[in-house]
Structure 1
Amino acid sequence: MTAYVVIIRNKTVEPKHFEKYFQLAPLAPAQKASFVAKNSEFEVLEGPPAETAVILSFPSMEDARAWYRSDEYQAAVAHRLKAADYRTLLIDGQINLPGA
């Protein structure tokens, strides 16, 4: 089942760290990933403000976890989290209706 990783940047705090993140992030094993949306126009309809959002699609939850937890991506994440405050979600693309 398709899985999605949603990365929401809440607030930038140390932008100098983005440079290292953008150097390291492409080294992560993302051959099974594809962008659904990347820094596209968006509108926060509920919840706290956000600066930007990225949505990645993976064939499965396991593939998404493997990418996110890879040593290569975790090395990049360390810099991303120094650069800004983020929320990152992993969502199974399955639709489960309450009471069904």
Structure 2
Amino acid sequence: MTAYAIFIRERSRNAAELQTYAELVTPLLGQSGATVLAAYGPLDALEGAAPEGVVMARFPTMEAARAFYDNPEYQAAVKHRFLGADYRSFIIDGVS
């Protein structure tokens, strides 16, 4: 069943680190079979404080999404995201 990886940026701290992360993660997403559905576009916060930005990627399965996240190459890249901003992220199973 399709799964979605959601990355919510709450607060940026270092733009250079975020740029490095973006450069490293883009080819990894392409290799993973993921489809980026939304990335830092305009948003309309309906409840609560609006985040700085949101990325949503679709994966074929929950296992594929987790494999992407656990991949050593991604784990090397994600260190730059951790240095660049505060995020919340999760994987959610789609509905059939």
Instruction: Sort the TM-score into its range (normalised by shorter chain).
Output: 0.7 to 0.9
Question: Contact conserved, 1:21 with 1:80, CA < 8 A, in 2?
Answer: yes
How many corresponding residue pairs? 95
Residue 84 of structure 1, CA deviation: 0.4
Please tell me the root mean square deviation across aligned C-alpha atoms, in Å: 1.6
Q: Percent identity?
A: 40
Structure 1 residue aligned with 2:47: 46
Residue 3 of structure 1, CA deviation: 0.1
Residue 2 of structure 1, CA deviation: 0.4
Residue 45 of structure 1, CA deviation: 1.9
Structure 2 residue aligned with 1:20: 20
Q: Give unmatched runs, 5+ long, in structure 1.
A: 96-100
TM-score, structure 2 normalization? 0.88
Higher helix share goes to which structure?
A: 2
Q: Which structure has the larger Rg over C-alpha atoms?
A: 1
Residue 27 of structure 1, CA deviation: 4.2
Q: Give unmatched runs, 5+ long, in structure 2.
A: none
Amino acid at match of 1:58: F
Structure 1 residue aligned with 2:75: 74
Question: Contact conserved, 1:27 with 1:72, CA < 8 A, in 2?
Answer: no
TM-score, structure 1 normalization? 0.85
1 CA distance for matches of 2:7 and 2:93? Answer: 15
